[in-house]
Amino acid sequence: MDESGTPPVAGGGDQESAEEGRGSPVGRRLVLGMLGLGVAGVAYGAGIQDKLDNVLASVSAKDPTGVTDLLPGGGGFRFYSVSNSIPHRGESDYRLTVGGLVDRPATYRLSDLRALPQTRLTRDVQCVTGWRVPKTVFSGVTLSTLLDAAGVRSEGTALRFTCFDGVYTESLTLDQARRPDMLVALTMNDKPVTAAHGGPVRLYAAPMYFYKSAKWLSGITVTKDVQPGYWEHYGYDVDGWVGKSNGRSDDPTS
């Protein structure tokens, strides 16, 4: 099912409609109202950016005009949630578990993740439906840091990512995951990842199409084999390299 409740077209189908769904049109008055809110966001600073992002996300998810892309906080990103909602977790209730075929399973709070070495990357973001956002900054903990801490057993060959939206999943091979540009991201453009963008913690798989970057990340499980993720059951490539997969020829992002 996609965000509108319509089953996406399987393999080789129209990816645009698969991801973007067919939400009901947003009235012009609502969009213009949002423009007003956007100005308020600028006037009152970043404090309300998270809330504003959430409202923008819920509107732009159903905005066939693309007008919301022009709003502050939109930044060229489209909002996606296959669960049709924005789940919220914060300082007190966020947990990331690392388990499966490891010697030392672990549970991290936000403060634990912040205490680990942080890697900051500036790369273009490319969605498989075509949109690209240049020079986006993400920072966080490399997957390899978490894997070293966990001690991957010899039977482990891949990772399965789960999300606290309860629906989305993703995967990487261990070799892919150990690249230095695969992050458990805590910040985006040097601010905490907003709830709409998958905060407080999302995956950032820099060299791959953005569907690999699971939002609302809550679990990393080391598995024996690759288990294809959510969109991969509907025809997206498991190895999601930008420019070398999904029948597309975009410039690489890493």
Ligand X SMILES: Nc1nc2c(c(=O)[nH]1)N[C@H]1C(S)=C(S)[C@@H](COP(=O)(O)O)O[C@H]1N2
Look up residue 98 and give its DSSP letter.
Answer: E
Per CB under 6 A, does 80 bind ligand X?
yes
Positive/negative CA dihedral, 238, 59, 250, 124: negative
- Give the residue closest to ligand X by C-beta: 168
Instruction: Rank residues 4 and 151 by Cβ distance to ligand X and give the closer one.
Output: 4
CA atoms within 13 A on the CB side of 35: 9
Give kind and range of the element (H or E) at residue 100. strand 96-100
Positive/negative CA dihedral, 102, 103, 105, 110: negative
Site for Mo ion in 111-130 (CB under 5 A): 127
Partner whose binding site includes residue 197, from Mo ion, ligand X, none (CB under 5 to 8 Å by kind): ligand X
Per CB under 5 A, does 214 bind Mo ion?
no
Instruction: Rank residues 82 and 172 by Cβ distance to ligand X and give the closer one.
Output: 82
Per CB under 6 A, does 161 bind ligand X?
no
Burial 199-234 (b: 16+ CB within 10 A, else e): bbbbbbbbbbbbbbbbbbbbbbbbbeebbbbbbbeb
Which region, judged by CB under 6 A, interacts with ligand X, from 6-14, 66-74, 76-84, 152-160?
76-84
Partner whose binding site includes residue 226, from Mo ion, ligand X, none (CB under 5 to 8 Å by kind): none
- The footprint of Mo ion (CB under 5 A) covers 127, 210-211
- The footprint of ligand X (CB under 6 A) covers 19, 77-82, 127, 163, 165, 168, 197-198, 210-211, 213-216
